[in-house]
Amino acid sequence: SDFTLRGGKAAASVVILGAGVAGLTAAYELGKAGYDCTLLEARERAGGRNLTLRGGDRLTEARGPAQDVRFGEGVYFNAGPGRIAPWMVTLDYCRELGIPIETFVNNNAAAYVHTNGETVRARTARADMYGYVAELLAKATHLGALDRVITKNDQETLLDFLRRFGDLGPRLRYEGSERRGFTEWPGTGGGAPIPAPGTLHQVLAAGTGRAITNDFGYDQATPMFQPVGGMDAIVKKLTEAVGADRIRTGAKVTKVTALADGVEVAYTGGTLKADYCIAALPPHVMARIPHNLGADVTAALRTPVPVAAGKIGLEYGTRWWELEDRIYGGVTETDLDITHIWYPSHDYHAERGLLVGYYNSEKNAELYGALTPEDRRRRALTQGKKIHGEKYRQNLLSSVSIAWQRQEHIEGGWVRWPSVDSSFTLLQRTDGRVYFAGDWLTHLIAWQAGAMESARDVVTRLHQRVLQSP
Ligand code: PHE
């Protein structure tokens, strides 16, 4: 997976708009190949949506009060990206940059599923759904429903699997299973299994389907990973490698002009001329910056729709989810407007800890985003209490919430393309001196890997062009 721009040293200059993960990756790879890069970043710090908040930080948002982060020593909140799949290029950068990683627990049998007003452990919800689905399929097989579909021999193999899949009884009935968990765990004695499941009707009515399949996807399957100490280790290490002096923060781009022999970029600190430009900022933000790239480019930039996304970090004085619920990392899935609760996959048994009390997008994120930070916290606590009880409100030390659609110069959690569109191709394959990069130009939207893959694609094409030019 080694990535290198080959074919001799180039001396071209490149101005990169935006020092998020795409911009930083582009600068890093171009820098290795000898290019002279300057990054213009409108925000006060690099990283974009890769944002880790710690005690002493201050989070501002558009049309709202600033929040002072009061977390204790060692407590952090990944307000943006939080998990990395092992196949993603993000891990290659962690390896190359010497960023230690640890497991991110994305599936925890001990976490809860809260749907239709009921709370059960994930292990219980799974055992019941798998059990009954297996029983039904076994029944269908015995009734001959599959006789014209598969051979008798295949039916035997299928039944053998269904017995294991559902932990079925001798008559291929689901009668509950130790997989559901125990009210008293086995030890010197056999323990007390959770009593028999509800009926098939009750289990179906519980509506746990979405919740228990969350990690089936190729991008959510266990194991997943996170950098030790916070996601922004990626920003820190990329910044160091690029050279912090190449990044101008608080630099808002006001105009982009493509010329015959280069690109001129006006920003709040002056004007910069370079041979090439990589616009690595959100499309809806770029669309508003005056440029001479043509009306079709502006229209294309306006096509992807920004999607709201938000999270709240809740810092507690005890790790009651470990002590009382025996939840070590993982995610509780809900049908409430908080969508998920994330338990920390690090610093187990520490004194304090931080939960993600909601992580939502679209309508629910708009709902929370429209509230004051205090009301967001209140609402998140009311919802979480439905799952965890009164202790969810006790021992809370501090909280911080982010509404990405209200973050200046970002204005969204990610984007959604209304359809597969020619705008996508137009912006991905530009042939002028201005290139576009970002997760929004890939099939890995809302992943750092998307930003990195896009950056690599753009610098490859830019480099080929430089090598071909006289
Ligand atoms: N990458 C984000 C996450 O892991 C958003 C996302 C969710 C993207 C699911 C794709 C699929 O939560």
Residue pLDDT, tens place only, 60-116 = 999 999 999 999 999 999 999 999 999 999 999 999 999 999 999 999 999 999 999
Q: Which of 264, 308, 332, 286 is nearest to 15 (CA)?
A: 264
pLDDT tops 60 at residue 406: yes
Ligand 1: distance of its center to the CA of 446 in Å?
6
Q: What is the mean pLDDT of residues 282-287?
A: 98
Smallest Cα–Cα separation from 284: which of 265, 267, 306?
306
* CA distances from residue 335 to 69, 208, 212, 364, 382 in whole angstroms, order as listed: 29, 9, 12, 11, 14
Mutate to test the pocket of ligand 1, among 49, 213, 220, 333 (most ligand atoms within 8 A of CB): 220
Indicate if the pLDDT at residue 433 is higher than 80.
Answer: yes
445 alpha carbon to ligand 1 midpoint, in Å? 8
What pLDDT is recorded for position 10? 63
Q: Is the pLDDT of residue 1 over 60?
A: no
Closest residue by Cα to atom 2, ligand 1, is: 446
Please tell me the predicted confidence (pLDDT) of residue 11: 77
**Residue 419: per-residue pLDDT:** 84
pLDDT at 434 over 70: yes
Residue with tokens 């990626």: 234
CA-proximal residue: ligand 1, atom 4 (nearest): 83
d(CA 57, ligand 1 centre) in Å: 25
CA of 82 to the centre of ligand 1 (A): 9
CA distance 275 to 465: 11
Tokens coding 437: 């990069």
Query: What is the spatial distance between Cα 168 and Cα 397, in angstroms, rounded to a whole number?
Result: 46
Instruction: Please provide the DSSP assignment of 141-179 as one string.
Output: HHTTTTTTTS-HHHHHHHHHHHHHHHT--TTS-----GG
What percent of the chain lies above the pLDDT cut of 70?
A: 99
Chain mean pLDDT for the chain: 97
* Å from CA of 162 to ligand 1 middle: 31
Q: How far is the CA of 386 from the centre of ligand 1 (A)?
A: 25
Model pTM score: 0.96
Per-residue pLDDT tens digits for 329-374:
999 999 999 999 999 999 999 999 999 999 999 999 999 999 999 9
Per-residue pLDDT band for 396 (boundaries 50, 70, 90) equals very high
Kindly give the number of the ligand 1 atom that is closest to the alpha carbon of 414.
5
Average pLDDT of span 414-428: 92
For the chain, how big is the Rg over CA atoms in Å? 26
330 beta partners: 343
- pLDDT cut 90: percent of the chain above it: 96
- Name the residue of 447, 452, 453 to mutate for ligand 1: max ligand atoms within 8 A of Cβ: 447
ipTM above 0.90, yes or no: yes
Task: Give the residue, out of 219, 222, 224, 439, with the most ligand 1 atoms within 8 A of its beta carbon, to mutate for a pocket test.
Answer: 219
Q: How remote is the CA of residue 469 from the centroid of ligand 1, in Å?
A: 40
**Nearest of 359, 341, 356 to residue 414 by alpha carbon:** 359
Nearest atom, ligand 1, residue 219 CA: 11
- In this prediction, residue 8 carries a pLDDT of 65
pLDDT category at 9 given cuts 50, 70, 90 is low
- 426 band by pLDDT with thresholds 50, 70 and 90: very high
Atom from ligand 1 closest to the CA of residue 413: 5
pLDDT by residue (tens digit) across 180-205? 999 999 999 999 999 999 999 999 99
Instruction: List pocket residues of ligand 1, CB cut-off 6 Å.
Output: 83, 219, 446-447
447 and 81 in contact (C-beta within 8 Å)?
Answer: yes
CA 362 to centroid of ligand 1, rounded, Å:
13
